[in-house]
Amino acid sequence: MSGLKLCVLALRANDLDRASAEIGLPKSDVKLLTSLYGSSPDDWKPFARKSVGEYVTDAGMLPVPLTADLYRTGDSAALNRLVRDVELLLIDPVCVVAQIHQTGVVWRLEAVIRRAKLSFCVIYPPRLSQTMKDLLRTKCEEHLPLLTLAPPEEGAWDVSSEGYLKSFLAGLKSRRRPAANPSQVDAVASLLAGAGITSPSFPGTPRLR
């Protein structure tokens, strides 16, 4: 199972009051959202059944969370590592619109995802009121303008069902290059060596004429 380095831009349980005050969430939506968050953004269960990492695992990829680096605000090396290594950005629109994380960090993540044509999806709890969902979508697009330019195969702006999320992750897996299997590489090298074929080497940078 190949590893997938992901960052989850989502609330923690203790962020919800602040987000509610910032956005003006109705009590019915706050009640719904309360059950979806845990002590870490990686615990986010947008459909109340599984964490986002569990969906990644179900899709046949090993989640490698980088989210903790978001909270190392004084550690520039950690933030640089996060921006450099991230492959998938899973976005909770409530978190983005409430600006729970530093705007500069979110913009850097957005820029690298778009520039490197990596993947992202914005996930909405299915029972969120339509009025609030429309507001969050509009505001999220304002906060992440670069991602609105991404083609559908790279990003999904309105993931509001488990089926959609599973389909998106399945598509992501099919587009990823399989990691080289060391045992297979060694076996091929052994066969070549047995046939008297050595690995090519170049004294300098090869040039095409």
pLDDT of 185 strictly over 50 = no
| Burial zone of 107 (CB within 10 Å; 0-12 exposed, 13-18 middle, 19+ buried) | middle
Q: In a 3-state reduction of DSSP, which class is residue 65?
A: strand
pTM, whole model, 2 decimals? 0.80
pLDDT confidence tier of residue 200, bands split at 50, 70 and 90: very low
Arithmetic mean of pLDDT over the chain: 83
Predicted pLDDT at 167 = 94
Q: Compute the distance between CA of residue 161 and CA of residue 124 in angstroms, rounded to an integer.
A: 8
pLDDT confidence tier of residue 177, bands split at 50, 70 and 90: low
Q: Compute the distance between CA of residue 89 and CA of residue 82 in angstroms, rounded to an integer.
A: 11
pLDDT of 183 strictly over 60 = no
DSSP H or E run through 61: strand 61-65
- How does DSSP classify residue 73? T
Query: What is the three-state SS of 117-183?
Result: CCEEEEECCCCCCHHHHHHHHHHHHHHCHHHHHCCCCCEEEEECCHHHHHHHHHHHHHHCCCCCCHH
Domains of the chain: 2-194 (3.40.50)
Residue range 19-47, pLDDT digits in tens: 999 998 888 899 889 999 999 999 999 99
Residues 15 and 37 sit within 8 Å (Cβ to Cβ): yes
